[in-house]
Structure 1
Amino acid sequence: MKRLVLLGGGHSHVHVLDALAQRPLASVETLLVSPHPHQVYSGMLPGWLAGHYRLRDCLIHVDALARRAGVAHRRATAIGFDPAAQRVFCSDGAAFDYDVLSIDTGAVLDLGALPGASQHALPVRPIERFIQGCNSLVEHVRARPRTIITFVGGGAAGVELILALRRRLRRHVREGRAVLQLISSSASLLPGHPAGVGRRLEAQLAACGILYYPDRSVAAFLPDGVILHTGEEIESNFNLVATGGAAPPWPKRSGLATDAGGFISVNGFLQSTSHANVFAAGDVASMVDHPRPKSGVYAVRAGPPLADNLLRALAGRPLKRHAPQQRALYLIGTGGHHAIASWGPFSWQGRWVWRWKDRIDRAFIARFSRDTPTEANLLHRSESESP
């Protein structure tokens, strides 16, 4: 019997599990290796933080999807694999052989090289830890007369999250107890998007009283401040980091072909350029023929073609090429029931954009929520404390 191993429960693999539920494979054993029974949908994380959603509204129950597909779920993290032996190694000491391997573990935020980061900064990944940290932060602010909160990262995640946090604090904390500031290494917000998007978001920050430090990077985190690369030291009591993700180290270390950043190099079939029985999608992968920015938009769109090609590979059928769209639609929340849309050179904003985003996000969750798990989950405490 052949074995398909799915490493990670990311957006693309959610589609694979759904496809396996609809088209069960005879004579194929499928194993999912992922540390959590659910996936927090990153597109709705700012909405949870702002108070628009309960945490359970943002969860895709990977366990339930796996059960429906007849897929065994090992709650562990991949730490490496041997492509010659076709064997995966997990954080709990287990090892599994595979005939076809698919990787959708996402990127990581490695702050280890930044002085003080491990003690004085909370990264947005892993999301589960970030959620618990945000709940603790609100209690911290409530208990003190004044707290300065710093977000590092001028991309969509950093801007959305700081605006969402500002809304949550306004609803739960007395006015004036929190000062928010954003540090961005780029000269403008959301580089790579139309200039109008950055200007709209800068106006939102200003209207919300959020301090903005453009064109600066962090050199070190201190117990009560942040040192910038310019030598400036700014006061800060709580630091959150939402910079771009890095590649996990183990794919390159295991011998897979990677790009300069360590992301798995894949062709138009979402197939490793060095190992034909290994596939990858999402932020952990880099398409050689069609490079695209790291984004949940592209990870979601890669799900159906990845599922199709995995089924084809297991059946010995020809693979189909996937060409991601040139332009992706980005819908960026601004804290309240308001959002900004970015598509190619165009941008729009308004309450109608937020309603559009809300419908898309809820529909995505609903598609994969036909089963409701009864077991307690790792985020139960965070859910009960959600805004």
Structure 2
Amino acid sequence: MTKRLVLVGGGHAHLSVLRALAKTRPAGLDVVLITPSKYQNYSGMLPGWVAGHYTQAQCRVDLDPLVQAAGARLVLDQIVGMDAARRCIGFADGLHVEYDLLSLDVGSETDTSWLETLGDKLLPVKPLDNFFASWPRILAAAKAKKNYKLVVVGGGAAGVEMALAAQQAFTRAGVDGHVDLVASESGLLPGHANAVQARVQRFAVRAGLGLHFARGVGSEDGVLLADGHLVPADQVIAATGARPAVWLGLSKLGLDERGYILVDKYHRSVSHLNVFAVGDVCARTDAVMSRSGVHAVHAGPVLAENLMAIVNGGSLRPYSPKRRSLYLLACGSRYAVASWGRWSTEGQWVWRWKDWIDQGFIRRFSANPRSQTPQMLENTP
């Protein structure tokens, strides 16, 4: 009998699944990929694109060749709900797709709950498709107005890289404006070593960023800080942490206290053994994992192997996250800071290292899907 494998989301891990299916696809397997766009934007290159170092075409993978090589079907749509008990997912128009085996790689949303008052002035970093469409409009508006004020909210890696990239973009475009970065009282890059935080903060000051270390809420005129200071804004970019998709709450899947899908060491749902989840959408029951694209990339080959094992009746393989991950933090110009545990360094050579890794990722998934071995995919940086 034919079994249906449904892949929801064209994220990093599912790229590896499609590659694996292109090389060895089990007989009697109907594969469907559901994702909003035929292109998968690579988040690691978003700051470089904003800064003007890349075109959008250089930052994305065309899913069509991968889907065709895998013998799959591509459905361009956004799911709005699922019923794990009935084994189906639903779309906004009321239609649904049933599955025998489901894999979710849909990422997370940007938590903008404290900034909603900004209305049209607010632009979350995610979803990436929307950000890629909106940034050129923001840059054009900044060029057309004197003393344009852009505020980035979020002191983590995404917020820091975005603020520095925007500052670089303003400089290149000759914008008469200013970029402010609002972080919490924890400062820049909480969780990274003190040396990393110091390196990035020194660079941010040299770049001319306005730094504010206080929590903020949205107002009609900008971001109001906890100390009562208003940071005026024509536009606010939110890189304020993640939250799970709302529809997960009614999915009947086992979720953690924040609403993420609980998965075991195989990235299989603890409540429904025919559902797998990877990346930001899930939380491990046995390990604490940062919400980083690094894990989705490295978990991809393991996910592919486990999905094939379910179909073929084989043994599952655990994904063991590394104790620490390498972060290469882009600083707007062709300069970057490396962070790996307590070790750090910086320089133009670090940016070239990051550029080599990022462009290699795009090339790897844009090449002939049948030309690479699983080991090559698993060694993706």
Change over 3 Å in CA distance of 1:186–1:307 after alignment to 2 = farther
Which stretch of structure 1 is more off in the superposition, 184-193 or 271-280? 184-193
Which residue does 2:245 correspond to in 1? 248
Please give the secondary structure, in 2, of the residue aligned with 1:183. Answer: strand
Is the contact made by 2:85 and 2:252 (CA closer than 8 Å) also made in structure 1?
no
Q: C-alpha displacement at 1:61, in angstroms?
A: 1.1
Which residue does 2:283 correspond to in 1? 286
Distance 2:59 2:34 in 1: 21
Which stretch of structure 1 is more off in the superposition, 224-233 or 319-328? 224-233
Change over 3 Å in CA distance of 1:341–1:298 after alignment to 2 = same
Distance 2:193 2:114 in 1: 32
**Aligned residue identity for 2:64:** D
Q: Which has a greater percent of strand?
A: 2
Percent identical across equivalent pairs?
Answer: 39
Change over 3 Å in CA distance of 1:66–1:240 after alignment to 2 = same
The correspondence of residues 164-179 of structure 1 with structure 2, limited to 5 A, is: 164-174=165-175, 177-179=176-178
Is the contact made by 1:252 and 1:264 (CA closer than 8 Å) also made in structure 2?
no
Distance 2:184 2:90 in 1: 36
TM-score normalised to the size of structure 1? 0.92
Which stretch of structure 1 is more off in the superposition, 99-108 or 310-319? 310-319
Which residue does 1:383 correspond to in 2? none
Please give the secondary structure, in 2, of the residue aligned with 1:64. Answer: helix
Which residue does 2:51 correspond to in 1? 50
Q: Which runs of 4+ in 1 moved over 6 A?
A: none
Please give the secondary structure, in 1, of the residue aligned with 2:283. Answer: strand
1:362 maps to 2:359: yes
Runs of at least 5 residues in structure 2 that lack an aligned partner in the other structure: 370-381
The Cα RMSD (Å) is 1.5
Q: Deviations over 1:324-355 (max 9, x none)?
A: 11111100110111111111111110111111
Please give the secondary structure, in 2, of the residue aligned with 1:187. Answer: coil
Q: Deviations over 1:178-215 (max 9, x none)?
A: 1110001242211111111111111111001111001x
Which residue does 2:208 correspond to in 1? 209
Distance 2:352 2:306 in 1: 34
Distance 2:185 2:69 in 1: 45
Q: Deviations over 1:282-331 (max 9, x none)?
A: 01011111211100111111111011101101112221111111111100
Distance 1:88 1:129 in 2: 23
Change over 3 Å in CA distance of 1:186–1:266 after alignment to 2 = farther
The correspondence of residues 53-132 of structure 1 with structure 2, limited to 5 A, is: 53-112=54-113, 114-132=115-133
Change over 3 Å in CA distance of 1:186–1:273 after alignment to 2 = farther
Q: Deviations over 1:59-109 (max 9, x none)?
A: 111222111211101111121111121111123432111111000000012
Q: C-alpha displacement at 1:130, in angstroms?
A: 1.2
1:272 maps to 2:269: yes
Runs of at least 5 residues in structure 1 that lack an aligned partner in the other structure: 373-387
The correspondence of residues 130-279 of structure 1 with structure 2, limited to 5 A, is: 130-174=131-175, 177-214=176-213, 216-222=214-220, 224-279=221-276
Which stretch of structure 1 is more off in the superposition, 153-162 or 75-84? 75-84
Which residue does 2:379 correspond to in 1? none
Q: C-alpha displacement at 1:118, in angstroms?
A: 3.4
Q: Deviations over 1:12-63 (max 9, x none)?
A: 1111111111112210000011010011100011111111111101111122
Which residue does 1:341 correspond to in 2? 338
Is the contact made by 2:167 and 2:178 (CA closer than 8 Å) also made in structure 1?
no
Change over 3 Å in CA distance of 1:221–1:127 after alignment to 2 = farther
Which residue does 1:384 correspond to in 2? none
**Aligned residue identity for 1:190:** L
Aligned residues, how many? 368
Q: C-alpha displacement at 1:112, in angstroms?
A: 5.0
**Aligned residue identity for 2:215:** S
Which stretch of structure 1 is more off in the superposition, 269-278 or 93-102? 93-102
Distance 2:35 2:72 in 1: 12
Is the contact made by 1:150 and 1:182 (CA closer than 8 Å) also made in structure 2?
yes
**Aligned residue identity for 2:199:** R
Is the contact made by 1:141 and 1:173 (CA closer than 8 Å) also made in structure 2?
no
The correspondence of residues 315-326 of structure 1 with structure 2, limited to 5 A, is: 315-326=312-323
Is the contact made by 1:111 and 1:118 (CA closer than 8 Å) also made in structure 2?
no
The correspondence of residues 22-61 of structure 1 with structure 2, limited to 5 A, is: 22-61=23-62
Is the contact made by 1:120 and 1:221 (CA closer than 8 Å) also made in structure 2?
no
Please give the secondary structure, in 2, of the residue aligned with 1:24. Answer: coil
Distance 2:260 2:298 in 1: 18
Which residue does 1:309 correspond to in 2? 306
Q: C-alpha displacement at 1:110, in angstroms?
A: 4.0
TM-score normalised to the size of structure 2? 0.93
Q: C-alpha displacement at 1:161, in angstroms?
A: 1.1
Q: C-alpha displacement at 1:111, in angstroms?
A: 2.5
